Amino acid sequence: MTSPQACSASPQTTSRRDFIRASGGALAAVGLAGSASSLWAAPVEDSFSLPSLPYAYDALAPVIDAQTMMIHHTKHHQGYINNLNAVVSQESSLAGKSLVELLKHLDSIPAAVRTAVRNNGGGHANHMLFWQVMQAPREAGKPSGKLGEAIASKFGSFANFKEQFTKAAMGQFGSGWAWLVVGDGGLEVVATANQDNPISTGKTPILGIDVWEHAYYLNYQNRRADYVDAWWKVVNWEQVAMFMQKAAS
């Protein structure tokens, strides 16, 4: 199995390691997922399956209501998994590959199924990360410690970062995602269309917001700006810090 971290020995990787070394000591984070990529690196013996949420469906209310969370998890996320499993069962060269292997090497996937893997593998990976980077609402939640310092160093201030991230989320035409990633030069804000994952372009996501309408429409209807503005209250910054620390390890 090839993990993105193992695709190394490049100037890019060295840069990332320098960035992480400069930005992180060990984080005491019992109960947090290890690395973003580790979410997607598990060997697949039989088929992909829906992971449980790390909280109840109503835990994020009122920012995200319970019905939205339940439908999002059991219908939309499950749907991507079902479609991905169907594709893998039809294309023997994909058997046993992890999500990381699939998404890091889309060009090596047979053209006839590449788009299906990109959309549904990405949909599975993106939602796995999305559930992990949220928690019950906190009014004044913001990054602290090394993550807070890294954000301030890169973007000038947390407020500037929020503005840039929000602009990416609002500027994504149609369905997609906005991300905070570890890229060649450290932290970056990027947006992706549909279910594309930054890992397919060599960047490791550590925070992402789903701006598909299915993520917010029941509560916010067309008001994506209100959803994005409220969403900051449910960001699990300790988990994001852990993902940053592990991004180049």
- State both tokens at 137: 């609402």
* Nearest-approach distance from CB 212 to Fe ion, in angstroms: 5
Distance CA 217, CA 237 (A): 25
Which residues sit opposite 204 in a β-bridge?
182
Which 168-187 residues touch Fe ion, going by CB under 5 A?
A: none
Which residues sit opposite 210 in a β-bridge?
177
**238 lies in the binding site for Fe ion (CB under 5 A):** no
CA dihedral of 214, 219, 221, 225, whole degrees rounded to 10 = -90
* Residue 217 · residue 236 · CB < 8 Å: no
**In whole angstroms, how far apart are CA 99 and each of 35, 36, 39, 42, 108?**
14, 12, 9, 8, 14
CB of 41 or CB of 128, closer to Fe ion: 128
* Nearest-approach distance from CB 19 to Fe ion, in angstroms: 29
* Nearest-approach distance from CB 55 to Fe ion, in angstroms: 17
Neighbouring residues of 187: CB distance < 8 A, sequence distance ≥ 6: 19, 150, 151, 154, 155, 180, 181, 244
* Nearest-approach distance from CB 172 to Fe ion, in angstroms: 13
CB of 40 or CB of 212, closer to Fe ion: 212
Which 196-225 residues touch Fe ion, going by CB under 5 A?
A: 210, 212, 215
DSSP state of 48: -
State the residue number with the nearest CB to Fe ion.
210
Compose the 106-145 pattern: x for residues touching Fe ion by CB under 5 A, - for all others. Answer: ----------------------------------------
* Nearest-approach distance from CB 97 to Fe ion, in angstroms: 23
CB of 20 or CB of 207, closer to Fe ion: 207
Instruction: Compute how many residues bind Fe ion; rule: CB under 5 A.
Output: 3
Q: Which residues bind Fe ion (CB under 5 A)?
A: 210, 212, 215
